[in-house]
Amino acid sequence: MSPEEGEVGLAPSAIKAKGHHYDATSIQVLEGLEAVRKRPAMYIGDISARGLHHLVYEVVDNSVDEALAGFCDQITVTIEKDGSVTVTDNGRGIPVDMHATTKKPALEVVMTTLHAGGKFDSKTYKVSGGLHGVGVSVVNALSEWCEVEVLKDGAVYVQRYEYGKPTGPMKSRPAEKGRKGTGTTTRFMPDPKIFTETSFHYDTLAGRMRELAFLNSGLLIRLGDARVGKSTEYVYKGGIAEFVKYLNQNKNVLHARPVSFSRERDGVAVDVSIQYNDGYVESVYSFVNNINTVEGGTHLIGFRSALTRTLTNYAEREGMTKSSKASVAGEDVREGLAAVISVKMQNPQFEGQTKTKLGNSEVKGIVESTVGEGLREYFEENPSVARKIIDKMLAAARAREAARKARELARRKTILDGGSLPGKLADCAFDDPGLCEIYIVEGDSAGGTAKQGRDRRFQAVLPIRGKILNVEKARIDKVLANEEIRSIITALGAGVKEEFDLTKLRYHKIILMTDADVDGAHIRTLLLTFLYRELRELVDHGHVYIAQPPLFMVKSGKDEIYCFDEKERDEALVRLGRKNLQVQRYKGLGEMNPEQLWKTTMNPETRTLLRVNSDDAVEADRIFTILMGEQVEPRRQFIEENALAVRNLDV
């Protein structure tokens, strides 16, 4: 897909190292591999699904670094039928000549030594990614087996490893007829003794591969799943401008083309693209060397300050703020904004627990000047678009001011009433939020059952009536005017918007419990939309859960088996296999008595909870827009495509 003329500032991936010879002399050894298998979480974050998928990202990042250096334009990632993963690229291939210090082939050094690679001098790679930067040796150490195949100089070089150790010396053979060029193929099987989960999720990998393709314009990434015969190709010639278009898919945009600008200064390449829509959600994503800096950092601070200053200065200069009584804040400027900031640089310094916050102070000024100059030029040439954006900003400021007054009024009322918690909340006895959980329950009937069935020491229950407001289609003043939403915010205790404070959260488990019918699913989606859009930190920190009440009870005499889907019901029928079997279908929570609800859905010893996460924030944003946004056609298409995957539909 070619970019429209004048639309896109192509990503400055041209920080290249083509002149440098890439061989064994490029590989520097810093330390051995011993500790990796003892403390895997230290190297890959954790040993659950997130750490498992991180293995793939480490291998792919090596291939992307070859692309950044100008030597690779195709990467193929395949989940094999046996559960292993293969990553192939057409880069230069890992060096295979003898390493002077270790007297081993460079390939073996790279695969078996921690912190050995070409990233530690500034000649081999000008820019490199990789979140933890631990390299492919860690993937090797945490795999049952790993095989690497390097194509170079008309020959194929192969070595196999088990638990990080070579099973034999590197071997070579002439390349097959017609197989030309260079490249590396890495195939590995995660070690089930290390990981709590070893099954790769296609959608998780797809989110990262799509992101990498957006960030590296022209790079083709193929993702395949041999287990189910599925594959997708990602390639975006327009780079991050196409990323922004993707973010605004199914939204009504204020200007047809994203505003894009690129600049390189002092060895830092900055690429920015923005586009406004008529919604109320901010979707801003920042990256450094392809790493998603979810905690932001100096580049994001520079972007935000330039955006706020440029828009407010323009509004004042054009006399647009005279009639507006509300003062403009940063969040008003970002309402309805989709933006991507991509920085590529040497030696990024990351801060924070997850190493996803950029700390380099010099980057703030570089991004600030890039955005300020780019926006001023664009506004001069496109005054009609500028006015639309300013009008939206001023409307957001007025709505925020109205919301603030509503909050103050609500606070005064609660002080006069003498109590601040919602009347329908049945609170728990414990004070420690880490031990407490709140069930947000659909309807007074189910709420009553839950109140009777709960453990009052640590479980609170908040019944909500009917369907809450769809926050996807409402500004914050309308959201805060909704009584049910106000009750939830007050009960949780952490506030909202600029007053939000996670340390004041009263319950560390927020559990949504709705009926298993269509209405229940709709109410759950409305609640999730509210939590994701307005209290996103609760989702990001893993505080939001979905209860899993049973759909059936199979009974024979005194034997009762609770079943969560048709498959479990059929298995229970076979297991009990007697006459006089009774099957009860629970259409709603209210059909269970308090003891049954406790036993199946509320007892921490026996219940099943689904934790809500946002590992792929871009995809989560897209799905909420489709399901809850203004446009009907994408929603119809989504339902048609996913209808076959629905297991339980009660119409």
pLDDT of 353 reads: 60
Q: How confident is the model at residue 528 (pLDDT cuts 50, 70, 90)?
A: very high
Q: What pLDDT is attached to residue 90?
A: 95
Give the integer Cα–Cα distance in Å for 442 and 445: 8
Catalytic residue among 97, 318, 519, 591: 519
DSSP for residue 28 = B
Q: pLDDT tens digit string along 300-326?
A: 999 999 999 999 999 999 888 877 777
Q: Tell me which fold the domain 421-549+593-645 belongs to.
A: Rossmann fold (3.40.50)
Angle at 645 between CA 81 and CA 200, to 5 degrees: 30
pLDDT band at 7 (very low <50, low <70, confident <90, very high): very low
Q: pLDDT category, 123, cuts 50, 70, 90? A: low
CA distance 246 to 438: 36
CATH of 240-400, one of 2.40.30.10, 3.90.1300.10, 3.30.230.10, 3.40.50.2000: 3.30.230.10
CA dist 61 and 45 (Å) reads 16
Q: Taking the model in full, what pTM does it have?
A: 0.80
**Rounded alpha-carbon distances, angstroms, from residue 344 to 35, 56, 287, 358, 399:** 31, 22, 8, 12, 37
Are 273 and 259 within 8 A, CB to CB?
yes
- The pLDDT score that the predictor gives to residue 42 is 81
At 651, the pLDDT band (50, 70, 90 cuts) reads very low
- Residues 190-222 pLDDT 10s: 999 999 999 999 999 999 999 999 999 999 999
Q: How many distinct helices (H) and strands (E) make up the chain?
A: 20, 24
Mark whether 615 is an active-site residue: no
Catalytic residue among 89, 271, 368, 515: 515
Q: Which DSSP letter does residue 591 get?
A: G
The percent of residues above 70 in pLDDT, for the chain, comes to 88
Q: What's the average model confidence in pLDDT over 350-364?
A: 84
Strands (E), 465-597: 509-513, 544-547, 552-556, 559-563, 582-585
The mean pLDDT value of the chain amounts to 86
Q: What is the mean pLDDT of residues 395-413?
A: 77
230/402 Cα distance (integer angstroms): 50
Query: Which CATH superfamily includes the segment(s) 24-234?
Result: Histidine kinase-like ATPase, C-terminal domain (3.30.565.10)
Q: Is 65 a catalytic site residue?
A: no
Is 61 known to be catalytic? no
Catalytic member of 80, 401, 444, 517: 517
* Tens-digit pLDDT profile for residues 617-628: 888 888 888 888
Q: Are 33 and 113 in contact (CB under 8 A)?
A: yes
CA-CA-CA-CA torsion for 237, 241, 243, 246, nearest 10 degrees? -110
Q: Is the pLDDT of residue 413 over 90?
A: no
Q: Give CA angle at 198 (78, 353), nearest 5°.
A: 100
The residue-averaged pLDDT of 608-614 equals 88
pLDDT of residue 616: 80
Task: Give me the pLDDT at residue 126, please.
Answer: 58
Task: Kindly name the residue from 108, 442, 477, 484 that is annotated as catalytic.
Answer: 442
pLDDT of amino acid 417: 46
Kindly report which listed range (266-270, 287-291, 411-415, 490-494) carries the lowest average pLDDT score: 411-415
Q: What is the pLDDT of residue 32?
A: 56
Backbone angles phi, psi at 446, to 5 degrees: -65, -35
- Is the CB of residue 220 less than 8 Å from the CB of residue 233? yes
Q: Residue 442 catalytic?
A: yes
Q: How high is the pLDDT of residue 280?
A: 92
CA pair distance 120, 585, nearest whole angstrom: 62
